[in-house]
């Protein structure tokens, strides 16, 4: 056996750096969070070669006292906490005191800092964890941090970095997310001498979303404000039309910190269930504020993961807040025929529209100026938001809940004019100055789903015997899931008995599933239960039953009478979300009279 030995300090520092500093984006995250903790309201991030050769972070925060500068680069040196009890009340973004030490261990670092009270600033050099020099220097108030040649002394780690372009993308992502979490701070991001992002810091989340994601998403936002005595939840979520194929557009922040949480992510996605199609994910920017005593942010050195004292309560609060906001909207997508002619507009990240031009343009070497005066907002129809170009204003009719009557409301039914059915599948309805197209199969699926869910929740169902019974062979884990939720299965109408060994007999199913339930359906239910978080399991069986029951819905290519479509519309009126089928497909789309007249050149 090899002899146990204590590692030298240099090796210890490099190992610690590996836990905190994975790539240039990690350096940017730690330094920008330090700038925010220092009270800055303007931060500039500049990188070259994806941040591998240079990272420069400049802020107008409080700065660091001269005698404190060397201490800042020691491991576990911090101004944020003093004793273990303080961990329960941490309100700053950083607190471990590992960031500067870890960065200095793998970079060539230059720090220029000055406090408001000092006449001169300090320039401090440190490379690979070793101090190289310190001198007085003229500097503006605040801090400029330069990190050059990342992993210059650990080539084995450097070779695992991706291309400069890819690393720059990671940096851009982290800057955008920090900017979203702090709309009251002006952020400027420069990559290879090109300004990629410049925000106003006017405190308006809508403006920040426009800067980063563009006008299409900014035009399809739903504001939310809710929560409970445990957590407050505010921010914006996207209408289903702006869903994406991955979770990159799910942004949520806890006490101002961008984090990852399976509990929050699951709550958001479940709230969008039936509003978006399977494997599509929503756009969200949510700010959660909770008592620090209910959180554990010390799970991982990068502080990207977080644990809640009561995850189920957080899940329910997020789910109900998001679901409630979605249910209040009329989610009918407006479509156009062919390509709409649009004026050529600059990308919002490259040129800021006039209302946002509140921060002075800076040259590459210019430091951030003292805190600017708050910008004057311009009042418009859309609360106090930005005055957009004509193409952006055109999208106002999409916000039907603000400007138009709802198609699906009791007072609107008498104004419906049913034109007819096309392709034995789609119904054309005229209402006000719009033409609506209803997919009869998707609409009937939704009606059946909601009807069955209601009957299951009210326990208004009967069982139907299967003869002969379906014999299932279950693995140990599947049998464990069945035993755990056996009472739940029985409560909704399933009768299951042990048949010897690893086999089970399915003798009865809910009446509405008779003829549909088979071996694959039941195993699919067990798989779904095993894959879900604890907070979801109580409702999963009901939802699966209702989803499978939708197979009884009227299909496309089936002719319905006008009376039947009227009856279908009347049932849609009673639903919480009549705009999407249980699988997330739209039940109704619309086209405006204006759009038709443009295509027929009545309007040029």
- CA–CA separation, 110 and 556 (whole Å): 68
Mean pLDDT by 10 residues, the chain (604 residues): 58 57 92 92 96 96 91 67 45 57 91 94 92 93 95 88 90 92 94 92 91 85 88 92 84 88 89 82 91 66 65 88 81 60 40 34 40 40 36 36 56 76 84 84 82 72 82 79 80 83 84 62 71 52 64 69 81 78 82 84 78
- What does the pLDDT read at residue 372? 45
> Please, where are the H alpha helices in 252-329?
262-271, 311-327
H or E element: which one contains 99? helix 99-106
The four Cα atoms 545, 549, 551, 552 give a dihedral, to 10 degrees, of 170
| pTM recorded for the entire structure | 0.60
Rg (C-alpha) for the chain, rounded Å, is 29
> Please, where are the H alpha helices in 159-251?
164-181, 205-213, 215-218
> What's the N-to-C CA distance of the chain in angstroms?
85
- What are 396's strand-pairing partners? none
- What does the pLDDT read at residue 140? 94
- CA–CA separation, 452 and 547 (whole Å): 9
At 528, is the secondary structure helix, strand, or coil? helix
- What are 388's strand-pairing partners? none
- What does the pLDDT read at residue 405? 60
For residue 317, how far is the Cα from the chain centroid?
Answer: 16
Cα dist. 210→16, 109, 508, 520 in Å?
38, 35, 55, 46
**Tokens of residue 543, six digits:** 């939802």
**Tokens of residue 573, six digits:** 């009126």
- What does the pLDDT read at residue 390? 34
- CA–CA separation, 537 and 222 (whole Å): 28
Are 452 and 446 in contact by the 8 Å Cβ rule? The answer is: no
H or E element: which one contains 454? helix 440-457
Is the bond preceding 116 in cis, omega lying within 30 degrees of 0? no
- The structural domains of the chain, ordered by start, are 9-198 (3.30.565.10), 205-334 (3.30.230.10), 408-604 (3.30.1540.20)
Cα dist. 110→127, 134, 144, 425 in Å?
9, 10, 8, 68
Interacting residues of 248 by C-beta distance below 8 A, sequence separation 6+: 173
At 83, is the secondary structure helix, strand, or coil? coil
**Tokens of residue 41, six digits:** 């309201």
- CA–CA separation, 230 and 449 (whole Å): 33
- What does the pLDDT read at residue 185? 95
Burial 445-481 (b: 16+ CB within 10 A, else e): bbbbbbbbbebbeeeebebbebeebbebebeeebbeb
- CA–CA separation, 176 and 212 (whole Å): 7
- What are 254's strand-pairing partners? 257, 288
- What does the pLDDT read at residue 547? 66
- What does the pLDDT read at residue 403? 38
| Locus of tokens 């039947």 | 564
HSE of 479, CA atoms in CB hemisphere, 13 A:
14
- What is the DSSP annotation of 382-412? STT-----HHHHTTGGG-HHHHS--SSSHHH
Cα dist. 454→226, 242, 543, 575 in Å?
26, 29, 11, 11
- CA–CA separation, 510 and 548 (whole Å): 12
- CA–CA separation, 175 and 178 (whole Å): 5
**Tokens of residue 516, six digits:** 């549909």
Pick from 220, 252, 254, 227: nearest CA to 395: 220
H or E element: which one contains 546? helix 537-549
């Amino acid at each position: 056996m090899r002899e146990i030995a204590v590692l030298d300090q240099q090796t210890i520092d490099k190992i610690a750096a590996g836990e905190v500093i994975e790539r240039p984006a990690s350096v940017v995250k730690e330094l920008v969070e330090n700038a925010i903790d220092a009270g800055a309201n303007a931060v500039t991030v500049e990188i070259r070669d994806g941040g591998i050769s240079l990272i420069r972070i400049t802020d107008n925060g409080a700065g660091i006292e001269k005698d404190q500068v060397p201490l800042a680069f020691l491991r576990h040196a911090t101004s944020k906490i003093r004793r273990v009890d303080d961990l329960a009340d941490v309100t700053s973004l950083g607190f471990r005191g590992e960031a500067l030490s870890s960065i200095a261990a793998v970079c060539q670092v230059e720090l220029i800092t000055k406090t408001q009270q000092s006449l001169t600033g300090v320039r401090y050099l440190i490379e690979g964890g070793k101090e190289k020099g310190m001198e007085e220097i003229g500097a503006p108030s605040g801090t400029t941090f330069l990190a050059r040649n990342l992993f210059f002394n650990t080539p084995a780690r450097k070779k695992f970095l991706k291309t400069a372009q890819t690393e720059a993308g990671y940096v851009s992502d982290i800057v955008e997310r920090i900017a979203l979490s702090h709309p009251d701070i002006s952020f400027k991001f420069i990559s290879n001498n090109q300004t990629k992002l410049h925000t106003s810091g006017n405190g308006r989340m809508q403006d920040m979303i426009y800067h980063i994601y563009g006008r299409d998403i900014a035009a399809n936002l739903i504001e939310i404000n809710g929560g409970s005595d445990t957590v407050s939840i505010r921010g914006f979520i996207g209408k289903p039309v702006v869903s994406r194929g991955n979770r990159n557009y799910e942004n949520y922040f806890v006490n101002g910190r961008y984090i990852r949480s399976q509990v929050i992510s699951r709550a958001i996605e479940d709230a969008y269930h039936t509003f978006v199609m399977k494997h599509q994910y929503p756009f969200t920017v949510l700010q959660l504020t909770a008592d620090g005593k209910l959180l554990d942010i010390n799970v991982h050195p990068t502080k990207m993961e977080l644990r809640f004292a009561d995850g189920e309560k957080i899940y329910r609060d997020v789910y109900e807040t998001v679901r409630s906001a979605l249910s209040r909207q009329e989610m009918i997508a407006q479509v156009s025929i062919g390509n709409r002619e649009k004026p050529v507009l600059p990308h919002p990240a490259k040129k800021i529209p006039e209302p946002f031009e509140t921060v002075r343009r800076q040259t590459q070497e210019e430091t951030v100026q003292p805190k600017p005066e708050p910008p004057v907002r311009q009042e418009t129809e859309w609360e106090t938001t930005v005055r957009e170009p004509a193409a952006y204003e055109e999208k106002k009719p999409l916000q039907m809940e603000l400007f138009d009557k709802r198609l699906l409301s009791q007072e609107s039914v008498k104004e419906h004019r049913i034109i007819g059915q096309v392709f034995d599948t789609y119904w054309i309805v005229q209402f006000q100055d719009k033409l609506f197209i209803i997919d009869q199969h998707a609409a009937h699926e939704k009606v059946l789903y909601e009807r069955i869910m209601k009957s299951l929740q009210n326990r208004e169902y009967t069982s139907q015997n299967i003869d002969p019974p379906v014999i299932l062979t279950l693995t140990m884990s599947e049998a464990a899931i069945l035993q755990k939720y056996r009472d739940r299965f029985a409560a909704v109408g399933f009768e299951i008995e042990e048949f010897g060994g690893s086999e089970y007999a399915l003798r009865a199913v809910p009446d509405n599933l008779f003829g549909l339930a088979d071996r694959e359906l039941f195993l699919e239910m067990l798989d779904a239960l095993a894959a879900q978080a604890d907070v979801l399991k109580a409702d999963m069986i009901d939802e699966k039953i209702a989803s499978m029951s939708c197979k009884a819905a009227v299909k496309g290519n089936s002719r319905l009478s006008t009376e039947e479509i009227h009856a279908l519309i009347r049932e849609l009126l009673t639903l919480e979300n009549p705009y999407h089928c249980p699988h997330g497909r739209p039940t109704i789309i619309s086209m405006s009279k204006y759009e038709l007249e443009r295509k027929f050149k009545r309007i040029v």
